[in-house]
Amino acid sequence: MASFPARASFFAGAIALALSASAHALDNTPAAKVVVTPLASTTVTANGQPIVLPQKNVQVLVSSFEIPPGASLPVHMHPSARYAYVLEGQLQVTNAETGKSTSYKTGDFIVEMLGTWHQGANVGAEPVKLLVIDQVEEGTANTLLKK
């Protein structure tokens, strides 16, 4: 039976050989080009507020929304950060407190208003599809409806 140092040396050599073979196999594979296209960079929400994240037990929630043509969401607010990427369609978001509206189209990124009553509506002829990401304190809801 070989001694511990001899076995360790054997295993180290075998691992090095395996890694070398793997690296060689990867070297023969044509490299695919990864394309990164920045979509957004901001420190403020849609109405100019600083982005504030929960301070403890952060939970990330990811949802998809589909809003039919002519449909409106109820007036609501978000106590924590919510981001939306418009996959398809045309969404109009209206600040219920000021009446100011902003339109978003396919490819737009939205950093939603914090603690501000607002409403979204599909103003186009096709469904609005959104990818929505919330950052909340674990176990809390991020949408409050106006009563």
CB 128 within 8 A of CB 93: no
Residue 121's CATH number = 2.60.120.10
- Report the number of distinct structural domains present in the chain: 1
From the first residue on, what is the mean pLDDT of each consecutive set of 10 residues in the chain (147 residues)? 40 45 56 88 93 91 97 96 97 97 97 96 98 95 94
The answer to whether residue 25 is domain-embedded is no
Q: Kindly report the number of other CB atoms within 10 A of residue 35's CB atom.
A: 5
